[in-house]
Structure 1
Amino acid sequence: MAPKKGKKGKEPPPPPSKAMGPPPKPKKIPPPPSCFTNEDLLKFKDMFKAHDEENIDKVPIQLIPLMLRKLGFNPKTAEIEQLFKMFLEDDLVDTVELHEWYFMIEAKMNWGDDFELAVTKAFAALAHDDDETGIAQLEVLKEELMNWGEPLSEIEFVDWVRLAIKDKTYNIEDGTFLYPKFIENMNNKDEKYIKEPINFFKLDQKTLAEMAIKKAQEEKEEQERKELERRAKEEAKRQKMIADGLIPPD
């Protein structure tokens, strides 16, 4: 009689393949930049968490420009691209981790930021605020902005005035406009209020700078023209007095 077959046991798992090698070591996260205080780190982390909507300790790469602007920076497109090259692993990465966010902020701080200064100076020139008091007549600025660069339309200017009234940078009674504060408020706007954090209703840094430079050049040329006319008149008057014998010739 043949022996009974025993129950078939589970086959043992195959031995691990030597080709697979050891598991990869976890990535060592570097400490945050030493230049930041605990208060700085808390503020930067809160900003990061506020945009980590999926709660995965990562934020979408496309939100980095907005996040930097909310911290008061004004990164240019070339600077954003440089930050990604410096601190992200490759071009395929579509998220940013917290430690990478810290180092991006540090780099941007070291590069400096002159956007608000350039825009403020442009506004001063366009508003004829020669002493740069920060106060302008809105009607004067409106006239310039509707005729220089990419002109504002009436509809766009109505939106501008509405924001200025809301932000208390425009005084309806005397027509004064606190343009530095307006620029600061526009810089801090969230994307849920306007499509772009900084658009100045078509007035970007380049446009404003070009407008201010062009205006200054034309004003200089106008002053030179008036000075030449004044000298010509004085010379004509002097020649007439010589002809009339009132003064001796040279």
Structure 2
Amino acid sequence: MPPKAKAKANEKGKTKGKGKEVVAPGPPPKPKKIPPPPACFTNEDLVKFKEMFKAHDEERIDKVPIELIPLMLRKLGFNPKTAEIQQLYTMFLEDDLVDTVEYHEWLFMIEAKMNWGDDFELAVTKAFAALAHDDDETGIADLEVLKEELMNWGEPLTEIEFVDWIRLAIKDKTFNPEDGTFCYTKFIENMNNKDVKYIPEPINYFKLDQKTLAEMAMKKAEAEKAEAEKKDAERQAREEAKKLKMIADGLLPG
């Protein structure tokens, strides 16, 4: 082969095959280097965050589904807004097509949320969770259960007020009439975004201001605690009476 033709054939390591240029295989890509965890976290923090991550990694692939991130943040005590969640995804995920989150990405999301603060009314969200019997704090409640509680605790809501509330919740797409579920976190977010120039306090809507809801949740918790203590005392009394009877019958030593 003439020198020029030979050089042309080997130019940039390319050869011809079936009419298309084929690039000669190069070295394999280097593995992605995992960054260290944020310096602000203690070992205890990392243990807690790791446990929560593993609890939601049901497929054991060291990744969690992206849709679980809001729930995981709420379980840590945060109340991320929808816009904040989207910003976290933009900041720490590779692209819009990613549907899982890796552990180091999860840690940096927590750090970012901590730095942003949490101006979203935590007390109100906690109150809603308690009143709606949402023990796992998923943000979703059975509206009938929540309605019954709101009509019996704090400053009770009336049927007329609930009609207005449901109308608004349907409009805001926080209430699903088909299954009766109510997304109270989104409802609170909508109320929080109302123009404060016209509403003295965010969420001061249908008597659902922060003070009222917190008071309702506290009263409910106190009542449930008292009821649990009463049942425990009754159980102990029954056990003691049973023991005394067995002693009297000679079934147990006195």
Q: Give the TM-score of the pair, scaled to structure 2.
A: 0.51
1:90 corresponds to which residue?
none
Task: Please give the secondary structure, in 2, of the residue aligned with 1:177.
Answer: strand
| In structure 1, distance between residues paired with 2:168 and 2:223 | 31
Question: Shift of the alpha carbon at 1:192?
Answer: 10
Indicate the percent of aligned positions where both proteins have the same amino acid.
82
Distance 1:114 1:233, change over 3 A: farther
**CA–CA separation in structure 1 for the residues paired with 2:227 and 2:120:** 29
Matched residue, 2:221: 216
Question: Relative to structure 1, is the Cα distance of residues 114 and 227 closer, same or farther in structure 2, using a 3 angstrom cutoff?
Answer: farther
3-state secondary structure, aligned to 1:151: coil
**Cα distance change on mapping 1:111 and 1:211 into 2, 3 Å:** farther
Q: How does 1:1-250 map to 2 (within 5 A)?
A: 114=119, 116-190=121-195, 198-249=203-254
How far does residue 111 in structure 1 lie from its aligned partner after superposition? 11
CA distance in 1, matches of 2:203, 2:136: 26
8 Å Cα contact 1:115-1:205 kept in structure 2: no
The SS at the match of 2:141 is strand
1:128 to partner: Cα distance:
1.0
Match of 1:81 in 2: none
Superposed displacement of residue 149, structure 1 = 1.2
Structure-2 residue corresponding to 1:9: none
Distance 1:194 1:112 in 2: 23
The residue type equivalent to 1:116 in the other structure is E
Measure how far apart 1:217 and its partner are.
Answer: 1.0
Alpha-carbon distance change, 141 to 222 in structure 1, aligned in 2, over 3 angstroms: same
Structure 1 residue runs of 5 or longer lacking an equivalent are 1-71, 73-109
| CA distance in 2: counterparts of 1:183 and 1:191, whole angstroms | 14
Q: Aligned pairs, how many?
A: 141
Equivalents in 1 of 2:250, 2:119: separation in Å?
62
Residue identity in the other structure for 1:138: L
- Opposite residue 225 of structure 2, the aligned amino acid is K
Residue identity matched to 2:223: E
Residue 246 of structure 1 and its aligned partner are, at CA, apart by 1.2
SS at match of 1:136: strand
Aligned in 2, Cα 1:194/1:160: closer, same or farther, shift over 3 Å? farther
- Residue type at the aligned position of 1:236: A
**Alpha-carbon spacing, 1:132–1:231, altered in 2? closer, same or farther (3 Å):** same
1:191 deviates by 7.2
CA drift of 1:204 comes to 0.8
